[in-house]
Amino acid sequence: MRVAVIGGGVMGCATALALAERGVDAIVLERAVPGAEASSAAAGILGAQAELHGRDREADLFLRAREAWIPWARELRGTTGIDVGHRVSGVLRIARSGAERADLEREVAWQAGRGLRASLLDPREAHEVEPELAADVVAAAHFPDDAQVDPPALLRALMAALARSDRVAVRGGATVHGLLLERDRCVGVRLDEGELRADAVVLAAGSWSSLVPGVPAAMPAVRPVRGQMVLLEERPPRVRTIVFGPGAYVVPRGDGRVLCGSTMEHAGFRKEVTAAGVHAILGGALACVPSLGQAQLAGTWSNFRPHVEGDVALVGASQLPGLWLATGHHRNGILLAKVTADAVADAISRGEHA
Ligand SMILES: Cc1cc2nc3c(=O)[nH]c(=O)nc-3n(C[C@H](O)[C@H](O)[C@H](O)COP(=O)(O)OP(=O)(O)OC[C@H]3O[C@@H](n4cnc5c(N)ncnc54)[C@H](O)[C@@H]3O)c2cc1C
């Protein structure tokens, strides 16, 4: 059995790896280089609890996804020697007003009621967790089990793992111009050099997924939501906890690098980093952690979160037999990568529809 995977981001690479582990051959078709887009641009927060915001429907999935990361990071390191930077650094979500404090209080009570580790800290307790926090914090929600990985290291590890597998081929510079359709079934893809036939096709083209010709019109549209990022470097490293404030977050890698993000913009596929974007991110980040004002500005970038209105992602069988979906993960694609790859690879290797 051979599967063609459209897109070499975290979804395409992780799905191909999971297929190979189940004895299925896969070919990853990436129009640029693997990891060229959202997957390397992400902050890498595994914010299973910080990203919930009272959404009961997603809670089990998010928690399972965070759990799946622990053995996966270990496995990737074992096979490739590459450390993907998995660290349980915890998340603090801060409040500066009574209204923000009340929101956090509700969230913490709801999560604690589900048996999760979450607590509402007063300013003294919050500063014990993160001494670099701003002085005007009135309360903070602490999610000590949320974690992080380093996305560029993750993509390097996935590429190294794929290179070791004799079941997977990765082709960079391979643009898929359309799905190959025969008798209402997807039987492969069209490339520059002609047709590539496959027993199954996985659509993992991130924000570009809806643009691949032949994708069923009934599939919910995947649209880009631009996120800008700012990289700071502090010497020596001081910040130790991921901090979410209103309008910005701060992710310390532990080695002096601190990622600050991010905007949420409907800007089509325009990849600019804008003055307003950087201004908003740095304003929000420094309001959370004022000492970052002395850090060196080390870089900026932007990329596109693949967003599906009203859904957490598109995963599994599509309406078109032969076509499988691993796309539309919006803000949480790094968190959800392993559980998505396993779900899609399980279904394909068991020979389920599509
Ligand atoms: C600024 C920012 C911060 C983020 N932070 C986090 C975070 O902290 N935690 C988290 O969990 N998630 C985060 N995300 C979200 C996460 O990055 C995405 O959900 C995830 O990377 C999506 O992976 P993907 O493989 O679907 O898409 P992508 O990584 O975009 O990969 C899609 C690939 O498909 C290729 N492609 C497209 N069309 C074709 C075609 N026709 N033929 C061949 N190849 C094609 C593209 O070149 C691309 O490489 C963030 C995203 C952004 C932008």
Tell me the pLDDT tens digit for each residue of 186-234: 999 999 999 999 999 999 999 999 999 999 999 999 999 999 999 999 9
- Joined together, the tokens standing for residue 135 give 């002085």
Q: What is the pLDDT of residue 90?
A: 98
Q: Within 258-300, where are the H helices?
A: 275-288
The residue contributing the CA closest to ligand 1 atom 4 is: 42
Q: What is the pLDDT of residue 352?
A: 75
Q: What is the pLDDT of residue 162?
A: 98
Choose among 4, 5, 6, 2: nearest CA to 23.
2
Q: Which atom of ligand 1 is nearest to the CA of 326?
A: 26
What structural domains does the chain harbor? 2-82+151-221+309-349 (3.50.50.60), 91-146+223-306 (3.30.9.10)
Contact 185, 322 (CB under 8 A): yes
Tell me the pLDDT tens digit for each residue of 86-115: 999 999 999 999 999 999 999 999 999 999
Choose among 346, 340, 317: nearest CA to 68.
340
The alpha carbon of 133 and the centre of ligand 1 are apart by a number of angstroms equal to 31
The residue contributing the CA closest to ligand 1 atom 5 is: 42
Tell me the pLDDT tens digit for each residue of 259-316: 999 999 999 999 999 999 999 999 999 999 999 999 999 999 999 999 999 888 999 9
13, 37, 228, best to mutate for ligand 1 pocket (most atoms within 8 Å of CB): 37
Q: Which atom of ligand 1 is nearest to the CA of 44?
A: 8
The residue contributing the CA closest to ligand 1 atom 6 is: 42
Q: Which amino acid is at 341?
A: A
The confidence band for 354, taking pLDDT boundaries of 50, 70 and 90, is low
Contact 88, 145 (CB under 8 A): yes
Average pLDDT of the chain to the nearest whole number? 97
Give the mean model confidence (pLDDT) for residues 135-162: 98
Give the mean model confidence (pLDDT) for residues 25-52: 97
Q: CA–CA separation, 123 vs 136, rounded Å?
A: 8
Tell me the pLDDT tens digit for each residue of 41-63: 999 999 999 999 999 999 999 99
Of the chain, the percentage scoring pLDDT greater than 70 comes to 99
Q: What is the pLDDT of residue 247?
A: 87
Q: What is the pLDDT of residue 87?
A: 98
Q: Is the pLDDT of residue 353 over 70?
A: no
Q: Is the CB of 265 under 6 A from ligand 1?
A: no
- Joined together, the tokens standing for residue 222 give 């995947």
199: left (phi over 0), alpha (psi -120 to 50) or beta: alpha
The alpha carbon of 350 and the centre of ligand 1 are apart by a number of angstroms equal to 27
Q: What is the pLDDT of residue 351?
A: 85
Look at the block and give the residue holding tokens 């009574």: 98
Q: Is the CB of 45 under 6 A from ligand 1?
A: yes
The alpha carbon of 285 and the centre of ligand 1 are apart by a number of angstroms equal to 24
Contact 256, 237 (CB under 8 A): yes
The alpha carbon of 153 and the centre of ligand 1 are apart by a number of angstroms equal to 15
Q: What is the pLDDT of residue 175?
A: 98
Q: What is the pLDDT of residue 206?
A: 98
Q: Is the CB of 227 under 6 A from ligand 1?
A: yes
